[in-house]
Amino acid sequence: MKRDVDFAARSGCDSALVLFRSEAATEFLQRTLFLWAALAHLSAVQSASVHPPCKRFQPIYAFGDSITDTGNQVRTSPGSAPASHLPYGETYFKCPTGRYSDGRLMVDFLTTALNEGLLPPHVGLTDRTGSENFAVAGATALDLPSLHEIANVTSTTPISLDCQISSFNQDSCEVKLSDALVYFGEIGGNDYNYALAARRSMDVVESLISPVMTRISTALSDLISREVKHIVVQGQFPMGCISVYKYVLNGSATDKDGCIVSVNQISDEHNRQLKNVVLDIAGKHKDVSLLFFDTTSAYVRVLQNPKAYGFTNLFDPCYEEGLRLFLGPAFNMTLGNQTCSSPQNYINWDGVHFTEAMYRTLMRLFLERGDFASPSWNFLSGCTYF
């Protein structure tokens, strides 16, 4: 307004005309600001309808293997488990916690996104009325007799999915579960890993998939029968993209992303059947929110555009000595015994597991992008606290 008055004084224009123009400009500005405010409010309302506020879940439970284990194995095998020693845990915790990574896992980022604390491991827990993590490194979907019967292999731990569900049923028998969240982490991968490590044929390895699906389906149905209403089921990682198989099967046919085709076929079929299991159960239980997290698709998204996510090394392990721990002395390889200087730029941590940076990226993709969740509506999409 002062600018208009000053201009009038200099030009000799009628002051009333200047005042009118100033008032008109002010009214126009007010209307414009009101319009922008209304649009912003509408946008917020629409955004809220697409991404509702993050629901508070209590308690939270997790199942699975080393991808999700936050300390159960090291409590049952103190000192002998690789994750009980540095450099495991060096990035975030600055000490080993039993997690098979340099830092946090996907389940840790999920509970952080939910504004909850990290899940305590089941083993050694005194208060069994709250959140718990039942996942154990080395765990299989099938029990030991079934593994032996189908593939003539055994597991590094007797704690299969059956055992985890049994422990859950005991600990949660007096807990209200309608507001609980279950993170059903990767399970079944070790069933295939043990068979591949024992050099079983691909036909034998693939014969494990159907019984693995049966066991997972039964476990999910058991959880629903206990009135659990919110379940996230994590898919299998693309096995052929993992360092250990890239090293052991060096020279085998690879796909356009550089992953071993024959091994990826196993995890791809696992995921195809698992997604169908989830959709089938979801269709039968309309009152249950059941989500399948397509981990492989998210992983491949990172592989195909690594710089966008901060990764410069896609296949080498940051902690190369980890490969020796898992492969044993039979594989004569020249490996370093130090960790890389920048784990945040690596996807693979120890050749079998992944870095905190990769786990963070995958969970962020799951929470923020609907194309990695099935069915398409993701009840966790508003949870982005990390």
For 383-386, the CB contacts below 8 A with 24+ separation are 383/54, 383/55, 383/110, 383/113, 383/114, 383/115, 384/54, 384/113, 385/54, 385/112, 385/113, 385/114, 385/115, 386/109, 386/112, 386/113, 386/360
Same domain? For 15 and 133 the reply is no
169, part of any domain: yes
Same domain? For 32 and 144 the reply is no
Catalytic residue, from 69, 155, 350, 374: name it: 350
Single-letter amino acid code for the residue at 364: R
Token pair for 81 = 């488990």
Token pair for 111 = 């509970």
Annotation marks residue 66 as catalytic: yes
Catalytic residue, from 65, 66, 172, 230: name it: 66
Q: What is the DSSP letter of 309?
A: G
Same domain? For 25 and 125 the reply is no
The pLDDT value recorded for residue 106 is 99
The pLDDT value recorded for residue 51 is 53
Token pair for 248 = 């052991």
Annotation marks residue 353 as catalytic: yes
H or E stretch at 274: helix 261-284
pLDDT of 257 higher than 90? yes
Rounded to an integer, the average pLDDT of 16-39 is 40
Same domain? For 197 and 328 the reply is yes
Rounded to an integer, the average pLDDT of 307-333 is 85
**Which domain covers residue 18, as residue numbers?**
2-45
d(CA 20, CA 104): 64
105, part of any domain: yes
Rounded to an integer, the average pLDDT of 252-257 is 98
pLDDT of 287 higher than 70? yes
* 135 closest CA partner among 67, 80, 222, 212: 67
In terms of DSSP bridges, do strands 132-133 and 60-63 run parallel, antiparallel, or are they unpaired?
A: parallel
The pLDDT value recorded for residue 155 is 94
pLDDT of 305 higher than 70? yes
In terms of DSSP bridges, do strands 313-317 and 346-348 run parallel, antiparallel, or are they unpaired?
A: parallel
Same domain? For 40 and 118 the reply is no
The pLDDT value recorded for residue 322 is 87
Q: In this predicted model, what pLDDT tens digit does every residue of 111-159 receive, in sequence order?
A: 999 999 999 999 999 988 899 999 999 999 999 999 999 999 999 999 9
Same domain? For 76 and 223 the reply is yes
Same domain? For 370 and 272 the reply is yes
Same domain? For 38 and 166 the reply is no
Catalytic residue, from 122, 230, 270, 353: name it: 353
Same domain? For 20 and 133 the reply is no
Same domain? For 19 and 81 the reply is no
Q: How many domains does the chain have?
A: 2
